[in-house]
Amino acid sequence: MKHIVILGSTGSIGVSALEVLAGYSDRFKVCALTAATKDEPFAEQIAAFRPNVAAMSDENAASRLKNRPQVGDTTIYSGVEGLVQAATLDQADLVISAIVGAAGLVPTLAAIQAGKNVALANKEPMVMAGQLMQQEARAHGVTIFPVDSEHSALFQSMQGHRKEDIRRIILTCSGGPFRTCTREDMRHKTKAEALNHPNWEMGSKITIDSATLMNKGLEVIEAHWLFDIPASNIEVIIHPQSIIHSMVEYNDGSIIAQMGIPDMKIPIAYALSYPEHIPLDLPRCDLLKEGPLSFEAPDTERFPCLALAYRALQAGGTMPAVLNAANEVAVQGFLDDTISFLDIEGVIEGTMDAHLKTNLDTLEDALSADRWARDHAGNMVNDGAAAEVTMRRAGHA
């Protein structure tokens, strides 16, 4: 029996993970779950899976949860310390890291330092502090299994091959809901339009990241740290059908790809059951019905967030953590209707331009870069400075 912790069980990935686990109760036992604020669905999950521990980062939500009859004899913890207690539980064998954003860094790193294998969906900690996470994983003998569909595809396409034979990795990208839009079209895009992803059902933050292509930028940085591949050998290709989830090209010109329907249960199940491919009750990918598979080059003039992510990766040190935090603040500003869609890139670029990069060697280095960038980006969101950066960019273009 493999004992599983899910950090972020009420989210899109968390719910899909529980669906997979529910089908294999003879192989997996859920020992801890965490959430932030949604105590009602969380209580239902606790009633259904009976974990030993449940933790909520929000203290008020945790207090409400304690009074719900569904919790039974599950021990309830709260705050960031509560998340860490869940992530480092003695009996845990594998921690599914599925919190959204930088908030996942502390519990995910704690899981690694406690020697727990990690199934990583929460890409932002890897973007912020990839070197540190990998150093700690090596020091504690931990395997980090990718859950992001692209990284799972790369991981699968590397099985049985030698790392030194890899020429480049190719991350596929649906292009998001604004793939064919001009900059002028994008200027007026609403929250509802940006949240309407053509292929994937996901949480709101990653859906906006998919519309700006920042999600692909974050994935480039994540791939760099997960697979130890230099930025110059990581390419992005637009593939609107989301059937090929990513590819690895080898020195002899062979390209190995992983394909399937776009459903996160597939990479989640592989991370849980590696090296086995456990059966899943999902529609099959019928290539005869899919129609032509097509490919396009990404356009970083229309989608500058992708170029900003490469810039952050090449700069190194604290810059990726700054990119990530500025993006989180900007996306929230857009979701709150405070800034426009195109202002997201302005907040990120303006914050990166203002940052004096330093080395990132410790968790505190990552957290302090994150705090600085949130502060700077927050001021840009509130005083309208993002629009100036975006307009300056338009003047240059």
Q: Which of 43, 46, 89, 103 binds ligand NAP (CB under 6 A)?
A: 103
For the chain, give the number of residues.
397
Element (H, E) at 59: helix 59-66
Looking at beta carbons only, is 151 or 385 nearer to ligand NAP?
151
Neighbouring residues of 340: CB distance < 8 A, sequence distance ≥ 6 = 187, 334, 387
> Of 51-80, which residues contact ligand NAP (CB under 6 A)?
57
Q: How far is the CB of 297 from ligand NAP (least distance, A)?
A: 23
Figure out which of the listed residues 121, 171, 211, 321 binds ligand NAP, where binding follows CB under 6 A. 121
- Contacts with ligand NAP in 263-302 (CB under 6 A)? 264
**Token pair of 209, please?**
């990241």
Q: Which amino acid is at 36?
A: A
d(CA 166, CA 254): 10
DSSP 8-state symbol, 240: T
Candidate list 74, 88, 122, 242; residue touching ligand NAP; CB under 6 A: 122
Count of residues that interact with ligand NAP, criterion CB under 6 A: 27
195 binds ligand NAP (CB under 6 A): no
Nearest distance in Å: CB 182, ligand NAP: 27
Is 100 a residue that touches ligand NAP (CB under 6 A)? yes
Contacts of 268 by beta carbon, 8 Å cutoff, 6+ apart: 13, 16, 17, 20, 96, 119, 121, 147
* Strand pairing report for 144-146 and 94-97: unpaired
Q: Which residue is nearest to ligand NAP (CB)?
A: 11
**Closest C-alpha to 233, from 251, 215, 218:** 251
Coil vs helix vs strand at 281: coil
Q: Is 214 in the site for ligand NAP (CB under 6 A)?
A: no
* Interface with ligand NAP (CB under 6 A), residue from 35, 46, 142, 271: 35
Q: Tell me if the bond preceding 298 is cis, omega within 30° of 0.
A: no
Classify residue 338 by its DSSP letter: S
Nearer to ligand NAP by C-beta: 78 or 340?
Answer: 78
> Of residues 245-264, which lie at the interface with ligand NAP (CB under 6 A)?
264
Binding mask 123-162 for ligand NAP (x = CB under 6 A): xx-----------------------x--------------
Residue 350 in 3-state DSSP? helix
Instruction: Give yes or no for residue 326 binding ligand NAP (CB under 6 A).
Output: no
Q: Residue 164 corresponds to which tokens in the numbers above?
A: 């030194």
Token readout for 79 is 């705050």
* 105/98 Cα distance (integer angstroms): 11
**Which residues 2-31 are close enough to bind ligand NAP by CB under 6 A?**
8-14
Nearer to ligand NAP, 12 or 174 (CB): 12
Residues 79-98 that bind ligand NAP (CB under 6 A): 98
Residue 99 within binding range of ligand NAP, rule CB under 6 A: yes
Whether 360 contacts 321, CB under 8 Å: yes
Stretch near ligand NAP under the rule CB under 6 A, chosen from 67-75, 119-127, 332-340, 363-371? 119-127
**Binding site residues, ligand NAP, CB under 6 A:** 8-14, 35-38, 57, 98-100, 103, 121-124, 148, 200, 202-203, 205-206, 264
